[in-house]
Amino acid sequence: MMKNAVSGLGLAPDAAMVTFPIDMFLPGSDLSSMAARKREFYNGLMKWKSDFAQTANGELPLLSVEGKSYEDALQKANNLLITSLWGDGLPVWPATPERVDWILRGSALPRTQVLGKFPPRGGITTVETVAIALAMAGGRPEYLPVLIAAVEACLDPANVFDQLQATSGGPFPVVIVNGPIAKEIRLNSGFGCLGPDPQRPAGASIGRALRLLQQNVGGALPGIGTMAIFGAMRYTNAVF
């Protein structure tokens, strides 16, 4: 939780921390242990260096996965995503540069345009960030405008999304799409509109991409960024 909080303030996600039991901060508590550990404070302030890898221009380096076949490479890529805590337990499409570029065709917005900070961790969310999540979720270019609109709604301070993300309850976003675009991308609006429909698959990809953004950009990992006790069945949220 604290790592998410400091990241939201713009600090490195692996910022130096010195932790103490909460009862030490109650009235009348013995604070001598804090003085005994002052060297940790000094090292954190003066000697700490982040291990957060970035390229010279501040961007994260691309990851490379090799395999004996396409299937083997896909399996290794999925293993990497899940061990890095970037997946959701279901198979994902690797967000290759080619696939992300394809998804970005669905919007005229610049890929570098910043949409805001995704709570609670405060990860910077750009149009490209949204496209990466949609690529991983198996989406298509025509879904991108709807996902961008959903993200903008989540980042609106009036919607207190930071509270929804971190609560011990089990809420999840519900995205209701009106207008011609709902029919154009084949969003379900009939029988079983809250569940899967192979005839109208757009909602599943859009909702799953939003969930991946909540987790990977917003830091809503169970027990870390989200304290939801049960969490509900929120793999794809609800988009219709």
CB of 88 within 8 A of CB of 50?
Answer: no
How much is the pLDDT for 17?
76
Rg from Cα positions in the chain: 20
What does the buried/exposed string (b/e) look like for 201-211 if buried means 16 or more CB atoms within 10 Å of the residue's CB? Answer: bbbbbbbbbbb
7-13 average pLDDT score: 62
7-11 average pLDDT score: 61
- List C-alpha distances in Å: 136 to 71, 96, 100, 102, 115: 16, 9, 9, 12, 19
User: Coil, strand or helix: which one is 111?
Assistant: coil
CB of 219 within 8 A of CB of 123?
Answer: yes
How much is the pLDDT for 176?
95
| 165-216 pLDDT, tens digit each | 888 888 889 999 999 999 999 999 889 888 888 999 999 999 999 999 999 9
| 82-136 pLDDT, tens digit each | 999 999 999 999 999 999 999 999 999 999 999 999 988 888 999 999 999 999 9
| 35-88 pLDDT, tens digit each | 777 788 778 778 777 766 555 455 667 888 899 999 999 999 999 999 999 999
Burial tier of 40 (Cβ tally within 10 Å: 0-12, 13-18, 19+): middle
Q: Given a cut of 60, is residue 21 above it in pLDDT?
A: yes
Burial tier of 94 (Cβ tally within 10 Å: 0-12, 13-18, 19+): middle
Q: What is d(CA 50, CA 121) in angstroms, rounded to the nearest whole number?
A: 17
Domain range list for the chain: 1-59, 94-239
How much is the pLDDT for 209?
97
Give the count of beta carbons closer than 10 Å to the beta carbon of residue 174.
12
Residues in the chain: 240
- For residue 178, give the amino acid letter: N
